[in-house]
Amino acid sequence: MRDLKYCLLTACLLASVAVMADEGMWMLGNLDKKTTHMLKEMGFELKPKELYSPRKASLKDAVVSFGGFCSGVVVSEDGLVLTNHHCGFSSVQQHSSVDHDYLQDGFVARTRDEELPNPELYVRFLLRQENVTKRVLSAVRPDMDESARASAVDSVMLAVGAEVSQKDSTLTGVVDAYYGGNEFWLSVYQDFNDVRLVFAPPSSVGKFGWDKDNWMWPRHTGDFCVFRIYAGRGNRPADYSPDNVPYHPRYVAPISLEGYQEGDFCMTLGYPGSTERYLSSFGIEEAMNGINQAQIDIRGVKQAIWKRAMDASDDIRIKYASKYDESSNYWKNSIGTNRSLRRLNVLERKRTLERDLQDWIRRTPAERDSLLHLLTDLELAYKDRRAVNRAQAYLLESFLNGPELVQLALSILNFDFGADPKVVEVSLQGIVDKYANLDLDVDKDVFTALLKEYPRHVEVDYLPSLYDSIATVYGGSERAYVDSLYARTAIATPRGLKRFLENDTTLHLFSDPAINLGIDLITQLFEMNMQMNAANLAVDRGERLFNAAVRRYYADRRFYPDANSTMRLSFGTVRGYDPADGTHYRYFTTVRGILEKAREHRSEPDFALQPELVSLLESGDYGRYADRSGEMKVCFISDNDITGGNSGSAMFNARGQLLGLAFDGNWEAMSSDYLYEPRLQRCIGVDIRYVLFIIEKYGQAGRLIEELKIG
């Protein structure tokens, strides 16, 4: 029954809705015949070995993990990589200044010598995948408790991965857990660390609409950025060097200018970060009330302070642009996720599935003997850690992910002089960048506000000891405490870092108040983890057994594993949707919508356009990038299954030609990490023709267009 398959894959019971063929995040190394047949039935024209092959060049060789947090696609024989503007935003920000404001004005490298290096960036190519479940689980004995089991599994996973780099130092082996820790697969990667910025559109294109339009459809954002991969001798990975040359990839993604129509096949390849489709209702409820709500409450306060300061100063705007962008993205995501989980009744539907599973366990002797109390025990485990888990979420957001002075203290405390020289260099650069993008007055305002906000959400038992000092030493004034802290610490400025790195004997690091604060917070975090230790182990065990039981319950069904930052395939069709009664959204937007939004929001800088961009868009001179109707399409939507990390994923047509870049999901289906809702969930992509139009016509970078393989 297709209804039952949909229940499982979306972690819900929806007897009235048939499963859609486009649901799923499928592993390329584990595509079964049913899935490949479904691909063909939906119109995909490539053979399976042309999509994935561990030995010969295939489409997967054009897709990369970009920096470990986004996806990208290789589009030229000289290593050009397309990803999203918001994925490259931090790199653009690092190269920007008031005099060279690449965030606002965009960036174009007119020659390869002008392409800008980014030491913190890398791209990762998947070479092959291998099922190593039997080997990993061979270390597990029946008498092991969950802690011992986890240790045994982890040790084998690390050993299997390490064998790859021992055979070839340019390769990285990573073993990941799937299906709640019931299966294990080895992925073999090759990383390239010399990645240079080539082209970035102005924010009026790449961030058009900013927070207001984020996660929304209709969308008019040209969310793309161009980088180039460089290699050393023999086309092999190498650290940055001016002597490196453009990398020549195994496979280059061809580009289509034909566009798409509603109902056309559409496929994404990328590295989705994390989903929880098989999580119990208890786990979903914990996430809603814990980390999601903490991000909503705390980041909202922090971002409001940042935004006021950014609007008042170009220098602060550039310093805080990337931090604000990242923070606000997850803040709005948490708001939308909790809203959708409630509106779509996800908890109630999940509980229905769990009641059915419990009935099956009672009726099945082999299951009843070992799993009769599975769901009851799982519920109790979550209940046992509820208060501490919520307090920990607020502690992390308020302090360890809040004031940047605390983050600096933690970075210095964790600095390892004995690490690999490359790691030391990267860690040091990370600390230096924090100082470069820090404004002490802004950080004081944030710290003061968060000190006031944290106690509003947690029980008094979970207040850090600094609150005692505020009450007894500073007369209850959070601001007085903050001012004193920043005045007394040596690490508020780069001079303190310099003394630390030079082993200055006059710097008594563990007497520094900011360092002591960092230690106190880490200690409290550790104590919280210890309080939850037994419950955590019970939750891990219960979720693993729950996942396995559901798969046995639907033994004749196909299962895709939750996303875990490994390469995944998703396929579906280009199509619009109905977000509400009487409302229909079509499947594409055009430049006309950009101009309309700019006029409607003319007083808002987030929708402002440069005069030359307005002239270009109004001219109608779109050349070969115009749709067959003569329009310039900007964005489009499909029902592909995506999540965070898919940003920058290649969107291909049935012939494996590039149609665009995925960059967002839609507001009505923000619960998609827990539930795939076929009526509502859409993947938002930027049309490749708009990307090329901006590069060639606005950026005047025809040399880049000449590199591409355009069909």
Place of tokens 């995909």: 44
Report the Cα 556 to chain-centroid distance in Å: 32
CB atoms within 10 A of CB 152: 17
Place of tokens 């927070």: 211
Report the Cα 702 to chain-centroid distance in Å: 31
Backbone dihedral region of 34: left (phi > 0), alpha (psi from -120 to 50 degrees) or beta? alpha
- Give the catalytic positions in this structure: 86, 223, 647
Report the Cα 241 to chain-centroid distance in Å: 29
Cα–Cα distance for residue pair 533/539, rounded to 1 Å: 10
Q: How far is CA 342 from CA 335, 540, 674, in A?
A: 11, 25, 12
The 3-state DSSP class for residue 143 equals: coil
DSSP at 574: B
Q: How far is CA 161 from CA 122, 130, 566, 642, 695, in A?
A: 19, 11, 14, 27, 40
Q: What is the pLDDT of residue 22?
A: 60
| Backbone dihedral angles phi then psi of residue 544, each to the nearest 5 degrees | -65, -45
Q: How far is CA 647 from CA 10, 83, 661, 663, in A?
A: 22, 8, 8, 4
pTM score of the predicted model: 0.92
Q: What is the pLDDT of residue 496?
A: 79
The 3-state DSSP class for residue 261 equals: coil
Q: Is the peptide bond before 455 cis (omega within 30 degrees of 0)?
A: no
Sign of CA dihedral 253, 258, 259, 265: negative
The 3-state DSSP class for residue 633 equals: strand
CB atoms within 10 A of CB 228: 23
Max CA-CA distance within the chain? 74
The answer to whether residues 160 and 132 touch, using CB atoms and an 8 Å cutoff, is yes
Cα–Cα distance for residue pair 162/175, rounded to 1 Å: 10
Q: Tell me the average confidence (pLDDT) per consecutive run of 10 residues in the chain, 711 residues long.
A: 37 34 84 91 95 96 97 98 97 95 97 96 97 97 94 97 96 96 97 98 97 96 98 96 97 97 97 96 98 98 97 96 94 96 96 96 95 97 98 97 95 84 80 92 98 97 96 97 96 84 76 95 97 97 96 88 96 96 96 97 95 96 94 97 94 98 96 92 97 98 96 77
Cα–Cα distance for residue pair 430/438, rounded to 1 Å: 12
Contacts of 44 (CB under 8 A, 6+ apart): 265, 267, 571, 654
Contacts of 238 (CB under 8 A, 6+ apart): 193, 194, 230, 231, 232, 244
Sign of CA dihedral 255, 256, 260, 264: negative
Report the Cα 456 to chain-centroid distance in Å: 29
- Domains, in order of start, for the chain: 2-122+193-275+562-705 (2.40.10.120), 281-550 (no CATH)
CB atoms within 10 A of CB 496: 21
- Of 92, 326, 100, nearest to 227 (Cα)? 92
